[in-house]
């Protein structure tokens, strides 16, 4: 049975400032439809302000910060859940002095059979 602990110490850096990621369940585990990733954003860090042709579903595990999506900016905290539709510009920012940890779910493929990056 696949059981993995979300562990901030085993995340690996990604191409973002002060951001690291751990794939909890993904394509390498033969997940057929969607992939569950664990992100850590260090104090003062942020994810890229970008958009892509697939959606996110997110759950805040720990910490506070802001989410920008499609021109709106909202404060976020543990327990908050978001839906970020495909093609909407979005960015997570950690403006606190503690790590911001969240889950980010993506489909394993998009545009038919394209493998979703980081899934």
Residue 100: closest CA among 55, 44, 26: 44
Q: Does residue 29 interact with a second copy by CB under 8 A?
A: yes
Q: Does residue 105 interact with a second copy by CB under 8 A?
A: yes
Q: Does residue 85 interact with a second copy by CB under 8 A?
A: yes
By C-beta, is 1 or 113 nearer to a second copy? Answer: 1
Q: Give the C-alpha separation, 3 to 46, whole Å.
A: 28
Of 18, 21, 25, 43, which lies in the binding site for a second copy, with binding defined by CB under 8 A? 25
Contact 47, 92 (CB under 8 A): yes
The nearest distance, CB 69 to a second copy, in angstroms, is 5
Q: Which two tokens stand for residue 116?
A: 């979703």
H-helix or E-strand spanning residue 96: none
What residues pair up with 46 in beta bridges, in sequence order?
A: 93
Q: Does residue 14 interact with a second copy by CB under 8 A?
A: no
Q: Give the C-alpha separation, 90 to 70, whole Å.
A: 6
Q: Could you list the residues that contact a second copy (CB under 8 A)?
A: 1-7, 24-25, 29-34, 36, 38, 55, 57, 59, 61, 67, 69-70, 72, 74, 76, 79-83, 85-86, 103, 105, 107
């Amino acid at each position: 049975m696949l059981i993995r602990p979300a562990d901030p110490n085993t995340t690996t850096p990604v191409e973002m400032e002060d951001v690291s990621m751990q794939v909890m369940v993904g394509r390498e585990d033969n997940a057929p439809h969607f992939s569950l990733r664990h992100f850590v954003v260090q104090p003062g860090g942020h994810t890229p302000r970008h958009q892509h042709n697939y959606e996110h579903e997110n759950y805040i595990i720990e910490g506070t910060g802001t989410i920008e999506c499609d021109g709106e900016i909202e404060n976020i905290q543990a327990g908050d859940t978001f839906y970020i539709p495909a093609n909407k510009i979005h960015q997570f920012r950690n403006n606190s002095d503690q790590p911001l940890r969240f889950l980010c779910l993506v489909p394993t493929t998009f545009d038919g059979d394209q493998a979703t990056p980081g899934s």
